[in-house]
Chains A and B, each alone.
Chain A
């Protein structure tokens, strides 16, 4: 399978715990995006990378959220001290930089905070 891969697919955690999600993009894609989606809403932009550089982080994102893409390949999204309001589907997408906006999405990682 050469699509965007996300792990784990589902994570259940207790409030206050830290969680980390991993995204493996399509191999030749230099851009990688993280979005969050809650029920009945559209994807909400969190951050994106070009190669290993984080180009923008949403102002809506608290300091508990951090993302990395250390070698310009896979990326991790960590949420520290989780809160119930963090429960959502976390979506990763990748693209070729020259194809603006043509994103290839993974199946998402669903987070449930109890």
Chain B
């Protein structure tokens, strides 16, 4: 069975602080994909990143970075120098080759001015 766990239900940080959102996944497949999605207050989910199970290189995109570690089954997301516009619910998700995507329960991030 596939499962995504986001243990942090809610996080609050002051603007400009760095923040890391944790994601732990479970799967029996050797080929799988991991994702992060953002759901801002407006409600529409927005795709942020996809990683496949064969690529453990960390990725950086502007203030966003992702740390994929197969040894700990984790795919953590760090926002550097957070901004108020980063306030949203962030979902980690997992898919095997058949493309059914399973989402975690999300972490609500509050960036305080």
Residues on A close to B: CB < 8 A? Answer: 31, 33, 35, 40-45, 48, 55-56, 89, 91, 93, 95, 97, 99-108
CB atoms of B43 and A43 under 8 A apart: no
A48 to B101, CA, bound (A): 10
Asked whether any CB of chain A lies closer than 8 Å to the CB of B103, the reply is yes
Nearest-neighbor residue (CB-CB) of A56 within chain B: B100
Residues on B close to A: CB < 8 A? Answer: 4, 33, 35, 37, 42-47, 50, 91, 93, 95, 97-106
CB atoms of A105 and B45 under 8 A apart: yes
Asked, given contacts A43-B91, A100-B33, A100-B50, whether A105 binds B44 with beta carbons under 8 Å apart, the answer is yes
Nearest Cβ distance between residue B7 and chain A, in whole angstroms? 13
Nearest-neighbor residue (CB-CB) of B102 within chain A: A45
Nearest Cβ distance between residue B87 and chain A, in whole angstroms? 16
CB atoms of B95 and A93 under 8 A apart: no
Nearest-neighbor residue (CB-CB) of B101 within chain A: A101
Asked, given contacts A43-B45, A101-B33, whether A33 binds B106 with beta carbons under 8 Å apart, the answer is no
Interface centre among B33, B44, B46, B93 (most CB of A within 10 A): B44
Nearest Cβ distance between residue A10 and chain B, in whole angstroms? 12
A44 to B69, CA, bound (A): 25
CB atoms of A42 and B33 under 8 A apart: no
Contacts of B50 in A (CB 8 A): 99-102
Nearest Cβ distance between residue A90 and chain B, in whole angstroms? 12
CB atoms of B45 and A103 under 8 A apart: yes
CB atoms of B44 and A101 under 8 A apart: no
CB atoms of A106 and B44 under 8 A apart: yes
